[in-house]
Amino acid sequence: METKKSLLSRLPVISQLKKSVGLQRGMLVAGIVLTLMFLLTAALAPLIAPYGATQRFDETQAAPSSVHLWGTTAGGYDVFSRTIGGAQTAFMVIVVAVALSIFLGVILGLLSGYLGGWLDRILVVVADAIYAFPTLLLAMVMSIALSQGRSDVWSGIFSAAISITVVFIPQYFRVIRAETIRLKAEPFVESAIVVGASSVRIMARHIYKNATRTLPLIFTLNASEAILTLAGLGFLGFGIEPSTAAEWGYDLNHAQSDATAGIWWTGVFPGVAIVLTVLGLTLLGESMNDLNDPRLRGRKRAAKKARKNAKELVDA
């Protein structure tokens, strides 16, 4: 039982929650709650949404009512169903994009940092060149190259995910490469080299586990950036066809003309969904990042100890 508890306490979010105090704990809890809401909405979207996200009705731009809780759009789509369906689309894009980014970024970072030489120089130059491009512009170029800017649900999800993957790979590459270079000089790696371990074994068993400890932090921050990039692609018209899947950015784009006519419900709900989801993931990622910093943890422990000592003096 104690082993299970210790394993549970070492999980990324749980361990940070135990370390947090005061405002930092409030931010972390808020991030966890908003992120869980997003994940549950995405997972239970078919059960929550009363209609299909691509189902059209004769009532266009209808105000919120008992039939259509959040009204309908100019195209006759139910706003509530499309907002819920947009969470499912965003989740699938995040999973594919970040998984591919981590896989490729970690492999390239390990090879570049450990082997060095001409391979390291080439990969660093390519990563810096990609990193210099504006995120959304690069994603637009990739989207056009992969699917001419518009596509059905599955090809659209994969083209959007791959577009975002290209943007994120340099971030993971830089982090893993820097950690690999640092760990390569550690005594345990040098000992493995002395006993005759192969480069593949050293990278896989000794460096990989230690170099990837910060990936959960980067993952949460990149997930929020992926949602914004996906929404930007949809808003600019390079996203998924509305007749195949719901996407928040597309709905926001087509809500612009409605706003001038006083039809607020077609744009408010997708916009609020983007804001809350990005806010939750950002609070979660930033709080975890702060709590992983030993200097911040030291200050928190000192402050907690000072409060305890002050309380004991008052009681005495």
Three-class secondary structure of residue 203 per DSSP: helix
Query: Are the beta carbons of 97 and 90 closer than 8 angstroms?
Result: no
The neighbouring-strand residues paired with 240 are 151
Q: What pLDDT score was predicted for residue 84?
A: 92
pLDDT in single tens digits along all 316 residues of the chain:
444 445 555 555 555 555 655 677 778 788 888 989 999 999 998 889 888 888 888 888 888 888 888 888 888 888 899 999 889 888 988 888 888 888 888 888 888 888 878 888 888 888 888 877 777 777 777 777 776 655 566 766 777 788 778 878 888 888 888 888 888 877 777 777 777 777 777 777 777 777 777 677 677 777 888 888 888 888 887 777 777 778 888 888 888 888 777 888 888 899 999 999 999 888 887 777 666 655 555 455 555 555 555 555 545 5
Query: What would the two tokens of residue 22 be?
Result: 């005061």
Residue with tokens 């006083």: 262
Give which of 49, 97, 74, 38 is closest to 251, Cα–Cα: 74
* Token reading at 97: 């994009």
Q: C-alpha 242: how far from its chain's center?
A: 23
In single-letter form, the type of residue at position 40 comes to L
Q: How far apart are CA 30 and CA 23, in angstroms?
A: 11
User: What is the spatial distance between Cα 160 and Cα 166, in angstroms, rounded to a whole number?
Assistant: 10
| 273, 275, 277, 278 alpha-carbon torsion, rounded to 10° | 150
Q: Determine contact, residues 258/74, Cβ cutoff 8 Å.
A: yes
Give the DSSP per-residue string, 162-196: HHHHHHHHHHHHHHHHHHHHHHHTSHHHHHHHHTT
The distance from CA 3 to its chain's CA centroid, rounded to whole angstroms, is 31
The predicted pLDDT at position 68 comes to 84
3-state DSSP call for residue 200? Answer: helix
231-268: string of b/e by CB count within 10 Å (b at 16+)? bbbbbbebbbebebbbbbbbbbbbbeebeeeebebbbb
pLDDT of res. 27: 80
Domains located in the chain, CATH noted: 43-265 (1.10.3720.10)
Query: For 289-316, what is the HEC assignment?
Result: HHHCCHHHHHHHHHHHHHHHHHHHHHHC
Contact between 266 and 255 under an 8 Å Cβ cutoff? The reply is yes
Residues contacting residue 199 through CB under 8 Å, at least 6 positions apart: 114, 115
- What pLDDT shows up at residue 1? 43
Task: Please check whether residue 219 is in contact with residue 288, taking contact to mean a CB–CB distance below 8 angstroms.
Answer: no
- Which residues, other chains included, contact 200 with Cβ-Cβ below 8 Å and sequence gap of 6+? none
Q: How many Å apart are CA 3 and CA 25, to the nearest integer?
A: 25
- What the block records as the tokens of 32 is 């966890």
State which amino acid sits at residue 160: A
The answer to whether the CB of 49 falls within 8 A of the CB of 85 is: yes
Structure tokens, 134: 């504006």
Q: What is the pLDDT of residue 274?
A: 92
Distance of alpha carbon 87 from alpha carbon 198, whole angstroms: 45
For residues 203 and 196, give the distance between their C-alpha atoms in angstroms, rounded to a whole number: 13
